Structure 1
C-alpha cells in the first residue's frame, strides 16, 4: 500500500494518491492533474477511482479532467446531485483498489453531501480516514458555506451527529487525512499539521470534546468570518462542470504584442499583474491590479478579480503558465493572454507607466504630527486591527475593497498611508485605489510589523472586538 499526500500551500489544499497492487485512487484532485497521472505512470499503476469528499467551494476540482484522461470513475457520497455522470455511493458502500478497500462514510454537516473515505488495509483493518472538510487537524468544517436553505445552526447540529456517530467510534490509531491545513477559510482555526490521528483529535480538537449539541453548535458557529466571495462560484462550477484546463491554457497562454495588448485594453478587461510586490511598486501599466504569486495568490484573485470580465496578464518571465493554472484553480476561465516581454517591454516601448511610492514606518512617524490631511488606512482583517492599530487609523479590510462605494468615501485632499501586516495586502490595496483614481497614497514598507516597532507612533486596541 502506498499513500502520498500532495499538498498545495497557496490554497492550503491536500489531495491524495493511494495505490495497491497496480490500482490507484485519487482523492480531491486539483484542476492541474498532471502530477497524479505522472505518479501513476511512474509506479506502473492505473487510476481506478476519483473520490470527491464534497462540492469544494475554495477551489475547482480536477475530477472531470482526470476522469476524461484516465477513464477513472468519479465517486461522490449520498445526497449528491451533479450535471455530469458520477457514481453516487451509498453510505457504507465499499470500493476495492488492489488489496485495499475504501468504505464510504456519509458525514454531512459541512455540506449535505460531505462524505469521508475510510481506508482499510490488506488485512481489513481501519488504517486512515480521508475526511475532506468534515474534520481538520484541530477543527471541523464550517457549516455556513453551501447547503441550500438550511441555516448554519441546522447544519452544525447535523455535524454534531456526524461526529458522534461516524467519527468518534473509530479507533485512536486511525490516521486522519483532511483536505486542508492552516490558512484555509473552510474552517475557523485549522492546526499547522496536515495530518493527525483520531486519538489526537479526540484529545485536542475542541469540536470533538464531550459537550451537548447546543454547546457544539455555539462553539463552531461563533466567530465565523464571511466566506471569500468566490466560494459560491467554485461550488457551482464543481457541481455543474467546467471547461477543460487545457482549453483555458490554450487561450490564456497567447503571447500578446504591445499593439495587441493595447487593442484589448479598449474593451472591458482587467489587467492582473502577478509580479513580486517589490517589483510592481517600482512600475506598472496604469490600471493594473496587483496580486503577486508570492502570497496567497489564488484566494485573493478569487476574492478581488471579476469572473465575468476577460483578464490580461502581466507576469515575470517564465511565470505565465503558473499564473494561468493558479487562476484556473479558483474558477477563472476568461483569460485572454499575457503581455509578451512583460512590463519591461512595455516600459522600453515608451508606454505610460504608473508606480506606488513606498515609505518606511519612521517616515510615517515624522509625517503624522505635521500633516492634518494624513489618513492611515489599515487593510488587515477586523480582528487584526482590533488587536493593535495606529491611533485614528481607518480599518478597510482588503476583502471589502471591491465595494466602490466604500472607496468613494475618501476625500480628494487626503494623503492616504496604507499598510497591512507585512506589505503584500497593502500593495494590492494601493493598486485597487489607483485603479479607482486615487493617487495620493503611500505604501508603508513592512506594514504593521515595522509600525509597532516605531515608538513615536501612537497605538491603540479595540477591546470590544477582542472580547
Structure 2
C-alpha cells in the first residue's frame, strides 16, 4: 500500500494518491490531471475510484477530466446532488482498492454532503482518515458556506459539524493518521497549523475545536472570528457541482500569443482585464496602463479569486516569458477559464512599440522613514489579525480583501502611503487603486517587515497573532 499527499502550496490544498496492488484511488484531485495520469502510468496501476470529500469552494477539482480520461467513477458522500454521473455513497459504505478498503463516513457540517474517508489496510486495521474540510490540523472546516436562507444557518451547520466529529471522528483510535484537504493559508479555516499530516491523538489534545466542553461552546468558538468568505467561492462550488470546460481546452484557448496590436485591440473590444503576473519589484517600474498586478510567485490563485471574483471575466495576460502555461493552469484551479491570450514578448514588447506605459511610485522603508511625520496618512492592507498584532500608530486598517468596500472612501486630493507585510499585497492594492484613478499615493517596498527593522516608527504594542484569531 502507498499513500502520497500531493500538496499545492499556493492553494494550501492536499490531494491524495493511494495504491494497493494494481489499483489506485485519488482523493480531491486538482484541476490539471496530467500529474495523476503520469503516476498511474509509472506505477502501472488502474484508477478505480475518484473520491470527492465535498463540493469544494476554494478550487475547481479535476474529478470530471480525470474520470473522462480513465473511466474511473466519481464518488461523493450521502446527500450530494451533482449534475453529472457519480456514485452517491451511503454512510459506512465500503469501497475496495486492491487489498485495502475505504469506508465512507458522512460528516456534514462544513457542507451537507461533506464526508470523511477512512482507510482500512490489508490487515483490516483502520489506519488513516482523509478528512476533507471536516477536520483540519488545529481547526475544523468553516460552517458558514452551505447556508440556505430560511432553512439552515451557520449555527445549524456548526451543530451538525459538532455531531459529526463527536460520533464519527473522535471515537477513532488515536494512532490514526489525519490527512486534511487544507493547511495554513487556506480561507476554509481560521486557525490551521503549518503541518499537513498529524495523528488523530495529537489533534484530540491540541485542536481547540475538539476540546470544547459542550455543543454550545463548540458552536460559539468555531463561529467566532470568521471573516466573510471570498466571493468567488460560490462560483467554484457551482463548477464542481455542475461541470466545467475541459482543462485541455482552457489551456489551448489561453496559450495564445498576441502581438502588441492584437493585444490592444482585443482589450478594447472585449473589455478584458489585463492581469500582469510579474513580480511587484518589476511591475511598478513600468506596465500596460490599467493592468492589475498579482504576482505568480505568491498566493496567486486565491488572490485572483478574491480580487477578480467573476470567473467569467475575460483576461489578457502580461507574464514573464515562459510562464504563460503555468499562469493559465493556476488560474484554472480557481475557475478562471476565460483567458484570451498573452502579450507575446511580455511588457518589453509593449514598451518597445512606443505605446503608453504607466508606473507606481515605490520607496524603501528607509525612504519612508525620512518622509514620515505624525501628519501623514498610512493605509495598512494586511489582514485584521496582522494589524491587531502590531502596526504603525495611527495607521488605518484597510485589508486588501475588502478593497472594493473601502476604495470609494479615499480622498484623491490627500496623499497617503500604503503597505502590507512584504510588498506583494500592497502592490496588488496599488495597481487596483491606480486603475480606478487614484494616483496620489506611495507604496512601501518590503512592507511592515522592512518598516519595523528601521526602528524609526511609532508602533503599537506587539500582541501574538494566535491570540487575536
1-structure distance, mates of 2:386, 2:315 = 31
Instruction: Report the equivalent of 1:290.
Output: 293
Instruction: Report the equivalent of 2:317.
Output: 313
3-state SS of paired residue (1:92): coil
1:448 and 2:448 equivalent?
yes
1-structure distance, mates of 2:88, 2:408 = 49
2-structure distance, mates of 1:109, 1:286 = 45
Larger mean CA deviation between 31-40 and 376-385 belongs to 376-385
CA shift for structure 1 position 204:
1.2
1:411-464, CA deviations, whole angstroms, 9 ceiling, x for partnerless residues?
A: 23222211001110001011001101112221111111122233332223699x
Instruction: Report the equivalent of 1:99.
Output: 99
Instruction: Report the equivalent of 1:363.
Output: 367
TM normalised by structure 1 equals: 0.96
1-structure distance, mates of 2:455, 2:228 = 34
Instruction: Report the equivalent of 1:411.
Output: 411
3-state SS of paired residue (1:260): helix
2-structure distance, mates of 1:448, 1:283 = 24
Larger mean CA deviation between 73-82 and 228-237 belongs to 228-237
3-state SS of paired residue (2:226): coil
Larger mean CA deviation between 18-27 and 198-207 belongs to 198-207
1:50-102, CA deviations, whole angstroms, 9 ceiling, x for partnerless residues?
A: 00000101000000000000000000000101111110000011111111111
Instruction: Report the equivalent of 2:3.
Output: 3
CA shift for structure 1 position 227:
1.0
Instruction: Report the equivalent of 2:329.
Output: 325
CA shift for structure 1 position 285:
0.5
CA shift for structure 1 position 466:
5.1
CA contact (8 A) 1:146 1:232 kept: no
CA contact (8 A) 1:24 1:97 kept: yes
Instruction: Report the equivalent of 2:18.
Output: 18
2-structure distance, mates of 1:93, 1:27 = 16
Change (3 A) 1:466 1:14: closer
2-structure distance, mates of 1:76, 1:147 = 20
1:279-310, CA deviations, whole angstroms, 9 ceiling, x for partnerless residues?
A: 11111111000000111000000011143321
1-structure distance, mates of 2:293, 2:413 = 25
**Aligned match for 1:253, one of 241, 252, 255:** 255
1:102-159, CA deviations, whole angstroms, 9 ceiling, x for partnerless residues?
A: 1100011111100011111111111111100101111111101124342111111111
3-state SS of paired residue (2:268): coil
Instruction: Report the equivalent of 1:276.
Output: 279
2-structure distance, mates of 1:196, 1:68 = 33
Instruction: Report the equivalent of 1:47.
Output: 47
Unaligned runs of 5+ in 1: none
CA contact (8 A) 1:112 1:147 kept: no
CA contact (8 A) 2:212 2:218 kept: no
CA shift for structure 1 position 218:
1.1
CA contact (8 A) 1:386 1:461 kept: no
CA contact (8 A) 2:412 2:439 kept: no
1-structure distance, mates of 2:373, 2:166 = 59
Instruction: Report the equivalent of 2:245.
Output: 243
